[in-house]
């Protein structure tokens, strides 16, 4: 994880705007100390082209890290850029214990505990497969869509008949995996799939 991504995680955790946090880091490097929301930032030392900054929240140490002068001189806020990266999205989805609501375009392989609302565009004809548990099961892929893109959802047994083409569905606690070169949503044993009755 880059320093920009790490600081983006802190900005999300402590509900501080990336621009304000970046400005506070630059200010601390110039004036030795600054504040940003509940966070206090102190310049601990300067060595050649690096500055060591300490971030605290009251008596609690949040982070201490070196940053380069080039990082602090960036015109485009590197914390805002870090906030848009895949790694941050994966980190946040895995850190949160509650399902995190995403759009299809945000989904990346490895994400867990995904919450998603999307429309069912198509449902493939079910296939009969022999499972590792020694029994047969029906499996079919549904193609889901929202305004940001499409993704396949793997359906098993009664899930297949629980939704229809044209339905808007709400998925909770799904994971994103790669299957035959494609991203795919999978609903684990703790996940749920619901057809939204009030959807247009």
Average per-residue pLDDT for the chain: 85
Q: What is the dihedral sign for C-alpha 187, 189, 191, 195? A: positive
pLDDT at 50 over 60: yes
Report yes or no: 26 and 14 within 8 Å, Cβ to Cβ: no
Residues found in the chain:
200
CA dihedral 53, 57, 58, 60 (to 10 degrees): -80
Q: Are strands 136-146 and 149-156 parallel, antiparallel or unpaired?
A: antiparallel
90-131 per-position pLDDT tens digit = 555 555 555 557 889 888 888 888 889 999 999 999 998 888
Q: Please tell me which residue, 110 or 34, carries the higher pLDDT value.
A: 34
What local confidence, expressed as pLDDT, does residue 11 receive?
83
Q: pTM to 2 decimals?
A: 0.51
Region 41-67: what's the mean pLDDT?
Answer: 90
DSSP assignment letter at 80: H
Region 49-67: what's the mean pLDDT?
Answer: 90
What local confidence, expressed as pLDDT, does residue 200 receive?
46
Report yes or no: 151 and 184 within 8 Å, Cβ to Cβ: yes
What domains can you pick out in the chain, each with its CATH number?
A: 3-84 (no CATH), 99-195 (2.40.50.140)
Report residue 1's pLDDT band, with 50, 70 and 90 as the boundaries: low
pLDDT at 83 over 70: no
Residue 62: CA count within 13 A, CB half-sphere: 19
- What lies within 8 Å, CB to CB, of 51 at 6+ separation is 29, 43, 45, 66, 67, 68, 69, 72
């Amino acid at each position: 994880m880059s320093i920009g991504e790490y600081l983006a995680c802190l900005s999300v955790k402590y509900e501080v705007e990336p621009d304000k946090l970046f400005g506070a880091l630059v200010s601390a490097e110039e004036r030795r100390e600054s504040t940003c929301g509940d966070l206090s930032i102190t310049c601990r030392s300067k060595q050649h082209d690096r500055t060591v900054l300490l971030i605290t929240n009251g008596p609690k140490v949040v982070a201490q890290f070196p940053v380069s002068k080039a990082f602090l001189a960036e015109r485009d806020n590197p914390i805002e850029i870090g906030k848009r990266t895949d790694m941050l999205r994966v980190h946040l989805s895995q850190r949160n214990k509650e399902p995190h609501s995403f759009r299809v375009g945000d989904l990346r392989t490895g994400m867990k505990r995904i919450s998603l609302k999307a429309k069912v565009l198509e449902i493939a004809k079910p296939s009969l497969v022999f499972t590792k548990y020694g029994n047969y099961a029906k499996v079919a892929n549904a193609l889901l869509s929202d305004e940001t893109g499409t993704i396949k959802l793997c359906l098993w047994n009664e899930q297949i008949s629980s939704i229809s083409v044209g339905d808007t569905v709400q998925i909770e606690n799904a994971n994103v995996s790669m299957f035959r070169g494609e991203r795919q949503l999978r609903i684990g044993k703790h996940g749920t799939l619901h057809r939204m009755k009030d959807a247009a």
